[in-house]
Amino acid sequence: MPQPAGQANAVPDQTLRGTLGRADYEHYREIPFTLPPGVTRLTIEFSYGGKAQHSVIDLGLADPQRFRGWSGGTRDRMTLSAEDATPGYLPGPLPAGEWHLILGAPNIREGATAPFEARIYIDRAPTVTSFADAPINAAPGWYRGDLHMHSGNSDGKCLSQKGEKVPCPVYRTVEAAAKRGLDFIALTDHNTTAHYDALRALQGAFDRLLLIPGREVTTFFGHSNVFGPTAFLDFRMTAPSYAQAAKWMDEVKREGGIVSLNHAGAPSGEICMGCGWRVEDLPAGAVQAIEVVNGGTMAETKSAESPLQGLALWQKLLNAGQRVTAIGGSDNHNADLPFDQPGAIGTPTTVVFMRALTVQGFIDGVRAGRAFVDVYGVKGRFLDISATNGEAKAVMGGALRVRPGERVRLAAEVRGASGGTIQLVVDGEADPVFRRDIQRDGAIALTNWIADSGRHWVRADVRDAAGRLILVGNPIYIEVGK
Ligand SMILES: [Zn+2]
Ligand SMILES: [Zn+2]
């Protein structure tokens, strides 16, 4: 994976050094540096000495054409791209040519000096972006979030002070997600990249909630979420073919992001223009995830498993041998919607095992498939499955290699679903032989399976006592041969 610029362990592309003295007191100095063509992100770290003598250096930035921002003495790091910038700085193109650091000296005592160093990092290709400079949580674990929602940067609406429905500002969505107790969200406005600057500004104050760069690539032939990259993607497909989708899907792949198909079973045509997924010729690896439960569809159809959801396409892709991770998303368009309603922020919730709560941890977690959908977003509900064959063991998302005739023991770990049932789904079939009652929280032995000569995928669904689907698990892949 490409390293985001400005990381502590990265080597700066340029380092500017100098010293301010008493002569600079209440004056400004411009320190020139040159950017090459094709820079997609500029990150500057600034430090200076003389603080013991109360020397202070203020900081600002100008590109070859215009002023790009001022942070005075409050920041020692800023980053700018076409889409987003550190608060106090202006996002926009990063033109080649002579830039200037603007240094101001509000205080330098007689006889004192202030040696400074500016470390300049550049990216020359768009890449996965994080709005946080450090992990939101460095611990490995299961993290809960919502991966599909809209602000007023597209068609998200909420109530104004006067009670009017207005384009909903980004902070309302972020605030609601924090209230819901989520660990991560991806705000996925339609095609635009305009929400990233607000997200960067909010990330600092929401330091328990990872804000993942997302957008809903919205075409005439289906919608899909992209997670990770922030640069513009050309969504303008004019035919339902991979040849056309590739112009943005390949870009996402180059940048290290992931693509997830949204509400794939939704109708198309005048009822819902462009909603259903209609690109039939997707090669393996083109998409890494699929939204199997969409909150908006849940609200409309009163079901998490109506044919308008993505379950059928997911099973088709799995049966074709693709490894695609099921996720969920509320598709929230109103941050004020009460949390107990389908389509509210966090309904459904996607729960992902990550090595750390970071954007890269999320991307790797979804790729690994150790994730489940908590349809009603009830904290404490949990599902994982395992498959063991002698010493070999695979957990949800993983693969187990077996020889024909060997025994595979399948077990589950379920919490928050006592009184309900767990059903093993094998190659898309939910045979009642593989159904168990859930008496209490903890481990449940599911079945002993004798491997045959075919490859299979095995996953689990959990229903409550009323028969409602509450947890959707991802597959373990049973492969033949060692
Ligand atoms: Zn959509
Ligand atoms: Zn949407």
Rounded CA separation 230/207 (Å): 20
Q: Do 105 and 31 contact (CB within 8 A), yes or no? A: no
Rounded CA separation 56/59 (Å): 10
Helix (H) or strand (E) holding 418: none
Q: Do 413 and 389 contact (CB within 8 A), yes or no? A: no
Say if strands 469-473 and 456-463 run parallel, antiparallel, or are unpaired.
antiparallel
What is the whole-number distance in angstroms between the Cα of residue 390 and the centre of ligand 2? Answer: 45
Say if strands 97-107 and 442-450 run parallel, antiparallel, or are unpaired.
unpaired
Domain 380-482, CATH homologous superfamily name and number: Coagulation Factor XIII, subunit A, domain 1 (2.70.50.30)
What is the whole-number distance in angstroms between the Cα of residue 87 and the centre of ligand 2? Answer: 27
Ligand located closest to 146 CA: 2
What is the whole-number distance in angstroms between the Cα of residue 237 and the centre of ligand 1? Answer: 15
Q: What is the pLDDT of residue 9?
A: 60
What is the whole-number distance in angstroms between the Cα of residue 152 and the centre of ligand 2? Answer: 12
Residue 178 C-beta-side C-alpha neighbours within 13 Å = 15
Rounded CA separation 412/356 (Å): 24
Rounded CA separation 460/96 (Å): 54
Query: How far out from the chain centre does Cα 207 lie?
Result: 16
What is the whole-number distance in angstroms between the Cα of residue 401 and the centre of ligand 1? Answer: 37
DSSP category for residue 337: S
Rounded CA separation 348/310 (Å): 14
Q: What is the pLDDT of residue 3?
A: 44
Closest CA to 382 of 344, 353, 341: 353
Rounded CA separation 384/326 (Å): 14
Could you tell me the two tokens for 269?
Answer: 């045509």
Q: What is the pLDDT of residue 4?
A: 47
Q: What is the pLDDT of residue 481?
A: 85
Residue-level length of the chain: 482
What is the whole-number distance in angstroms between the Cα of residue 148 and the centre of ligand 2? Answer: 6
Ligand located closest to 329 CA: 2
Residue 28 corresponds to which amino acid?
Answer: Y
Ligand located closest to 266 CA: 1
Helix (H, G, I), strand (E, B) or coil at 433: helix
Q: What is the pLDDT of residue 5?
A: 44
What is the whole-number distance in angstroms between the Cα of residue 191 and the centre of ligand 2? Answer: 10
Sheet containing strand 407-415, strands side by side: 392-395, 382-389, 407-415, 442-450
Query: How far out from the chain centre does Cα 75 lie?
Result: 27
Q: Phi/psi class of residue 401: alpha, beta or left (left: φ > 0; alpha: ψ in -120 to 50)?
A: beta
Q: What is the pLDDT of residue 10?
A: 83
Rounded CA separation 395/388 (Å): 9
Ligand located closest to 189 CA: 2
**Ion ligand 1: protein residues whose beta carbon lies under 5 Å:** 223, 262
DSSP string, 171-236: HHHHHHHHHTT-SEEEE--BS--TTHHHHHHHHTT-TTSEEEEEEEEEETTEEEEEESB-S-----
What is the whole-number distance in angstroms between the Cα of residue 447 and the centre of ligand 1? Answer: 38
Could you tell me the two tokens for 454?
Answer: 């075919």
What is the whole-number distance in angstroms between the Cα of residue 30 and the centre of ligand 1? Answer: 48
Q: What is the pLDDT of residue 448?
A: 85
223 phi/psi in degrees, rounded to 5: -115, 145
What is the whole-number distance in angstroms between the Cα of residue 48 and the centre of ligand 1? Answer: 49
What is the whole-number distance in angstroms between the Cα of residue 222 and the centre of ligand 2? Answer: 11
What is the whole-number distance in angstroms between the Cα of residue 226 and the centre of ligand 2? Answer: 12
Helix (H, G, I), strand (E, B) or coil at 419: coil
Rounded CA separation 305/152 (Å): 29
Could you tell me the two tokens for 297?
Answer: 């569809």
Could you tell me the two tokens for 479?
Answer: 């492969």
Q: Which residue has the tokens 């947890």?
A: 471
Ligand located closest to 218 CA: 1
What is the whole-number distance in angstroms between the Cα of residue 414 and the centre of ligand 2? Answer: 30
Could you tell me the two tokens for 324?
Answer: 């695609």
What is the whole-number distance in angstroms between the Cα of residue 411 and the centre of ligand 2? Answer: 35
Q: Sketch the domain layout of the chain as residue ranges.
A: 14-123, 126-379, 380-482
Ligand located closest to 154 CA: 2
Q: Do 296 and 264 contact (CB within 8 A), yes or no? A: no
Q: What is the pLDDT of residues 146-157, one digit of tens each?
A: 999 999 999 999
Residues (pLDDT < 70) of the chain are 1-9
Ligand located closest to 188 CA: 2
Nearest-10 crossing angle of helices 196-203, 170-179: 40
Q: What is the pLDDT of residue 54?
A: 96
DSSP string, 227-286: ESB-S-------SSSHHHHHHHHHHHHHHT-EEEE-STTS--STTSTT-S-----PPTTS
Indicate the CATH number for domain 126-379. Answer: 3.20.20.140
Rounded CA separation 69/200 (Å): 15
Ligand located closest to 308 CA: 1
- CATH fold of 14-123 reads Jelly Rolls (2.60.120)
Ligand located closest to 333 CA: 2
